[in-house]
Amino acid sequence: MSQKIKVSVLGATGLVGQNFLRLLDGHPWFEVVDVAASPRSVGKTYADAVGGNWLMSDEIPTHVKNLVVRDAQDFDVIPDGVNCIFSAMDLPDKVDTRKLEFAYATSGYALVSTSSANRRVDDVPMIIPEINPNHTDVIPIQQVNRNLPESGFVAVKPNCSIQSYLITLAALESAGYPVDQVQVTSLQAVSGAGQAGIQSIEMKDNVIPFIGDEEEKTENEPLKIFGSVSENGIVNSNQIDISAICTRVSVIDGHTAVVHLRFKEEVPSLDKIKTIWKNFRTLPQENFFPMAPENPIVYLEEKDRPQPKLDRNTDKGMAVSVGRLAEDKFFDIRYVALSHNTVRGAAGGAILTAELLVEKGYINA
């Protein structure tokens, strides 16, 4: 790319926003020229606004430190040339978040969001680039429906709880082994609840067997991802049933999923499944997207893997690690899968989606 695409990060002082800035530092396609947050940070340099709450292991990127924080709802001071908005912004009311995202789209910006506010909207693509890159085809429908300019639209990435296992189902489906039923139990890291989750006293030496709305998202969002594009928007799939229990565990980063799976038809051998997973490659790998993992699914033969401490950062934190594949007494197979919830499940997944949108011609310098 001869010229980098200038981007803004909304919610830049929060945990996911910090991950955006870390992952975009030195990115070959994107350049952060603007950071935005809530009014309490406005007018401060980014370094002063984030203060001692910088939670990344790397230092604040040098070129970001002195950027002056903009009010995320102030469009008048967005720097010239910004074409893409990465949003990690969640307002107290999701309706307000939905309106804010579409306000950016109406103003001509391509917005890629980690928020759940617009995930259920039929004409908003919810994308895992290895699974449903064709869902970008709904963007022109969205633009017509909402009278948006040619450069403006909203795209989202799905919930972090499904990122640790959904790609394993997609690989089996694409190899000709359709999945019928899935029972998944998630063990989700505290960083999924943001900085407050990391600092929560309740999470010390504890497991909390409930996360608000998480089971509903885990059961329903895959149906949209596996759905099809119609003339009116995305039509959810009715070809798979998912039942979920979602828990919060005292791990900082890395969502684990215990998966039990039943196939519709032929049941492949365990060796066949491992081969399918190991060989799974799609558009992001074939086109060498900068954020794409070389191997989207990494199978680990050790009996005690995957583990968050050992495996969450595999291939930039973008690979899904899988292990303990076995035949099951009640379902056909079971296994354990893991992904980095604030990278693959949030900022990194959104960046990979934006790379797909560049490849498809929806985001330009």
Catalytic residue among 84, 246, 255, 260: 255
pLDDT of residue 304: 98
Average pLDDT, the chain: 97
Answer yes or no: 340 catalytic: no
In tens, the pLDDT along 204-261 reads 999 999 999 999 999 999 999 999 999 999 999 999 999 999 999 999 999 999 999 9
- pLDDT bracket for residue 119 (50, 70, 90): very high
Whether 147 and 165 map to the same domain: the answer is no
Question: What total of structural domains would you count in the chain?
Answer: 2
Answer yes or no: 255 catalytic: yes
Whether 250 and 122 map to the same domain: the answer is no
Percent of the chain exceeding pLDDT 70 equals 100
Amino acid, res. 313: N
Whether 15 and 125 map to the same domain: the answer is yes
Whether 85 and 226 map to the same domain: the answer is no
pLDDT of residue 13: 97
Q: Which residue range forms the structural domain that includes residue 232?
A: 161-340
- pLDDT bracket for residue 2 (50, 70, 90): confident
What count of other Cβ atoms lies within 10 Å of the Cβ of residue 103?
Answer: 14
pLDDT of residue 232: 93
Whether 125 and 274 map to the same domain: the answer is no
Whether 293 and 228 map to the same domain: the answer is yes
User: Can you tell me whether residue 337 is helix, strand or coil?
Assistant: strand
Whether 184 and 319 map to the same domain: the answer is yes
- pLDDT bracket for residue 365 (50, 70, 90): confident
**Separation between Cα atoms, residue 90 and residue 92, nearest integer Å:** 7
**Separation between Cα atoms, residue 150 and residue 162, nearest integer Å:** 31
Catalytic residue among 84, 135, 160, 260: 160
Apex 73 CA angle, 11 and 9, nearest 5: 30
Please state the pTM of the whole predicted model.
0.97
CATH code for the domain in which residue 102 is found: 3.40.50.720
**Separation between Cα atoms, residue 180 and residue 193, nearest integer Å:** 31
364 in any annotated domain: no
In tens, the pLDDT along 40-99 reads 999 999 999 999 999 999 999 999 999 999 999 999 999 999 999 999 999 999 999 999
What stretches of 250-300 adopt beta strand conformation (E)? 255-263, 297-300
Residue 195 has pLDDT above 90, yes or no: no
In tens, the pLDDT along 312-327 reads 999 999 999 999 999 9
88 in any annotated domain: yes
pLDDT of residue 76: 96
Whether 306 and 276 map to the same domain: the answer is yes
